[in-house]
Chains A and B, each alone.
Chain A
Amino acid sequence: MTNLLLFPILIPILTASVLLFFPKRVAAQRAVTVVGLVASIIAALFLLRTVMTDGVQAVTLGSWPAPFGISMVSDPLSVSLVLTSLLITLGVVVYSFRSIGEGREKYFYYPAILFMLTGINGSFTTGDIFNLFVFFEVLLLASYLLIVLGGEKRQLRESIKYILVNVVSSAFFVTTVAMLYSVVGSLNMADIAEKVTEIGQSGILTVIAVMLILVFGLKGAIFPLYFWLPGSYAAPPVPVLALFGALLTKVGVYAIIRTVTLLFPHDPGFTHELLMILAILTVIAGCIGALAYYDLKQIVIYNIIIAVGVILFGVAQMNMAGLEGAVFYLIHDMLIKAGLFMLIGVIIAITGTSNLREMGGLMKTYPGLAWTWLVAAFGLAGIPPLSGFFGKLLIVQGAFEADNLWGGIIILASSLIVLLSVIRIFIHAFWGEPMPVKGTSAGIYRGLLIPAVLVTALTVFYGVGTEWLRPLMWDAAEILHQPSIYIDAVLKE
């Protein structure tokens, strides 16, 4: 089955196309979406096994030889990202049953999620830079629909800004691809990487590398380019926010990782130094935001920005420890952000507000929610048995090996602030005097809490099963560290 690596892209797009035919039949929409997602997860698991046993999978569409057709490449990093996004989407879809409301479900909510998933999985799997642009547009267009669906005033206001920022960054992406094409004359990433090695990374290629960091940094919210994110992400309803927070910025992060490790690893003195400085500034900016707000959504949104900085800091070290830590942390962060957003959705459903000052004492009435939140908060901060620990340990180790002492210390200090920001939610919302709450029916509470608990449980397994996942992450980091493995797998003839 050479086409196995296309199944996680094809199954969602086919399911979404089928869903377009009966938008008003909500029960059927839900059932078909879940079936499609489960089928994609099974395909992704098979793909994971194949990649682990047989190495990097590459297929060039239409059986053209490698640099001429569009290559799709599945290496351990991309397949684990694909599997993670599928699992998160399944969790969020089940969560949506109880929270999104029929009005939205009847207007193409599930097809939009599946089209966005197609774009995300495609971006993770593609081996062609212009194809990456197209998949970016697929996921962005679906995300424009998801962010504005419902048409509340706040959504309209914020989605205009979101669309504008993304239109500009897409135009920038096209410009960058044009310049890259004029220098190397190829669009296949492996082929570009080989040609860049041959001609040496001249000044113009470094400029292009910085432009790509700029483009993907706008998608992935790094330091001077994150300004659009807090406002835009606070606008849509919670399940959409969970999907965006867990998946969208991580696509930009993945694209940066791919670019700086595969295409432009030859001038680390400039590009990686720049990336490292930006990453540290991103962490600091995120920390300031996470402490500044008394709003549940904003606190977790600024935690996304911190995590993006931490991951890119790990990548900028360019040694095995840093890269492996970045991969570990990337997947941990996708899972834990989905879990956190789903949990704050439960809190908002109970209290009817996202303002921390207007809630308190939920521990007595909702103990399950409280303990789950505590586990997720400790996982986010990286308390040892939980999922955030090992990635950050490796990133800090990588920083010390690369003699970036202060960078490592800032990353460690940021963990404390992350912990403080989420524990503040715990103290304000769950401890103290019980405040009058809006309340919610037991059915809705269970329907929201169960998927949130399952996603949180997944992060706990991820943390406890580190030893078991290590070979996968090691392989992923090795390919990032030695791009020749990737290039040989694609240009095998």
Chain B
Amino acid sequence: MSVIIGFLFMAAVYLILSRSLLRVIIGTGLLSHGAHLLILTMGGFAGPAPPVVADGVTDYVDPLPQALILTAIVISFGVTAFFLVMAYRAYQELETDNMTLLKGNDEHD
């Protein structure tokens, strides 16, 4: 699992460092996937049963990381939605999606 997460992080870093804004956003998506999978992995995979109280089951998987991931997923979903709309607005106004062209200083500073 850690190898897969490492690969996700690698791909995310590569995409975030690229020029096109959409590739950057895809990179942040992969980055949050990696982070969420990492929480799951770090919580450990011990315990076969899902964390639901049921008769005769004593060995549950750790429920805390799942709650953390759920929280982190909705947060990153909200941020990604905002970011995508921002990218759309920026494309309308600035007429480019090239990150290197976004650095200009139209003022004196």
Contacts and interface: CB of A to CB of B under 8 A. Distances in A.
B44 A182 contact: yes
Chain B CB count within 10 A is highest, among A140, A164, A187, A293, for A164
B4 interface: no
A244 B107 CA distance: 21
B79 A157 contact: no
Nearest to A174: B35
B109 A156 contact: no
A160 B21 contact: yes
Interface size bracket, B side: 35 or more
A170 B72 CA distance: 10
Contact of B89 (A137, A151, A161): A151
Contacts of B64: 181, 187
A160 B38 contact: no
B29 to A, nearest CB: 10
Nearest to A156: B90
Contacts of A163: 79, 82-83, 86
Contacts of A153: 93-94, 106
- Interface majority SS (helix, strand, loop, mixed), chain B: helix
A134 B90 contact: no
A177 B43 CA distance: 11
Interface string A121-141: 000000000100110010011
A174 B72 contact: yes
A449 to B, nearest CB: 25
A409 interface: no
A148 B65 contact: no
Interface string B54-90: 0000000000110010011001101100110011011
A159 B86 contact: yes
Contacts of A170: 75-76, 79
Given A157-B90, A167-B79, A167-B83, A178 B39 contact: yes
B106 A156 contact: no
B89 A156 contact: yes
B24 interface: yes
Contacts of A168: 16, 28, 31
B42 A182 contact: yes
A355 B107 CA distance: 10
B75 A134 contact: yes
A178 B35 CA distance: 8
A164 B24 contact: yes
Given A130-B68, A174-B35, A187-B64, 7 more contacts: A157-B94, A160-B102, A168-B28, A170-B75, A175-B35, A177-B68, A182-B44
